[in-house]
Amino acid sequence: MSYNIGESISELRAYLNITQKELAEGICTQTLISKIEKEHTTPSAVLLYELAEKMGVDINYFFEQSFNCKFDYIKEVQQQVREAIKLKNYSTAKELLNIEKNNPLFMGIENKQFILWNEGIIVYYLEKNTKKALSILNQSLELRKSAKKTYGIQDIEILNSIGIIHGEENLLSEAISIFDNLYNILKQSKFDQYDDIKIKILYNYAKELTRSEEYEKAKEICLEGVRHCMNKQTFYLLGNFYYQIGYIEFLNKSYKKALFNFTKASEVFNVSQNSLYLNFTNKKIEEIKKIINAPTSDL
């Protein structure tokens, strides 16, 4: 990793309101300070220590400043890409990736993997090319396989994307197999802190089980999701879990149970101000009420 030490020295010197001449006095020449700040030369460890001491900071300050700036930039780009994909703005996400994919900051395995992961998603939704999308996503997983045998959180996210694509292509057995594998992986304690991804996978798993008419297992997974949301005190997908349980009960013609869970979902969507899901759920509630109130209803 390269560090822009000269830039960090220049910024701190300007902040302290001292000139290059004042900084160099008793340590080195002003010319050398100028070359260091322009990144024309790299200071020795001894010189860097003396400069740090004169400016009242630890020598590690210069390395940390450089690293943190780069880290913040990478995180900002990643957040913009993920937000664009979340909002289904795939063209915007593609533009962001095209700008950054050859950026040296994204040359590390983790960041290369991020680029490929999101490229795969974009190819699927923009180009409608399932085979190419899955090939890119699998390629992103292979990047870390040689470097690390265990799954990281980004690997989990990629597998989740692969599972979703299989589900959308009606390859239900493959999708369920992927989510079942993810479900078992996430039981490992090291993933306890990743609440959102765990909740997301439980929900996607339950949806595919429902589509495969494995209703009891789907309901068990939804209930686990509800418990997890409650334990973590989060509304994230809580309403969706209640809705999915209601939908399962509806398919089983257990209309009173369906109504109960749809009502719970509606309450969550109302509190979390999710108007789209709230309106959809309320229509479902009215539909079920008509069935329940009909003389020939099978409760």
Q: Domain-by-domain residue ranges, the chain? A: 1-57, 71-148, 150-229, 235-294
Distance between CA 236 and CA 224 in Å, rounded?
14
Which among 162, 254, 253, 174 has a CA at the least distance from the CA of 211? 174
Burial of 64 (0-12, 13-18, 19+ CB in 10 A): middle
Using a pLDDT cut of 90, give the percent of the chain over it: 67
pTM of the full structure: 0.75
Q: Is the pLDDT of residue 96 over 80?
A: yes
Average pLDDT over residues 85-106: 89
Quick check: 105 and 73 in contact, CB under 8 A? Answer: yes
Tokens in use for 125? 């939704």
Instruction: Check whether 202 has a pLDDT greater than 50.
Output: yes
**Segment among 1-5, 31-35, 131-135, 241-245 with least mean pLDDT:** 1-5
- Rg (the chain; Cα; Å): 27
* 57 confidence band (pLDDT: 50, 70, 90): confident
CB contact burial 263-275 (16+ within 10 A = b; e otherwise): ebbbebbeeeebe
**If you average pLDDT over residues 215-220, what whole number do you get?**
98
DSSP conformational letter for 125: I
The whole-number pLDDT of residue 288 equals 95
What is residue 144's predicted lDDT score, i.e. its pLDDT?
74
Q: Which amino acid is at 178?
A: I
Angstrom distance (rounded) from CA 259 to CA 286: 9
The torsion of the CA quartet 194, 198, 199, 201, rounded to 10 degrees, works out to: 140
pLDDT digits 0-9 by tens, 144-173: 765 555 688 899 999 999 999 999 999 999
**In the predicted model, what is the mean pLDDT of residues 95-102?**
89
CA distance 266 to 239: 7
Name the DSSP class of 57.
S
For residues 169 and 42, the model is more confident at 169
Mean of per-residue pLDDT scores for the chain: 89
Q: How far apart are CA 285 and CA 246, in angstroms?
A: 10
DSSP-H helix ranges across 146-171: 153-168
- Just give the CATH number of 1-57: 1.10.260.40
pLDDT at 299: 52
Q: In this predicted structure, which of 84-88, 156-160, 187-191, 281-285 has the lowest mean pLDDT?
A: 187-191
pLDDT at 298 over 80: no
CATH class label, 150-229? mainly alpha
- Evaluate if residue 190 carries a pLDDT over 80: no
For residue 199, what is the DSSP state?
A: H
Task: Give pLDDT, residue 189.
Answer: 58
> Minimal CA–CA distance to 244: which of 272, 223, 270?
223
Q: What is the pLDDT of residue 296?
A: 61
> What is the structure's pLDDT at 1?
45
Same fold, 1-57 and 150-229: no
HSE-CB at 118 with a 13 A cutoff on CA atoms is 28
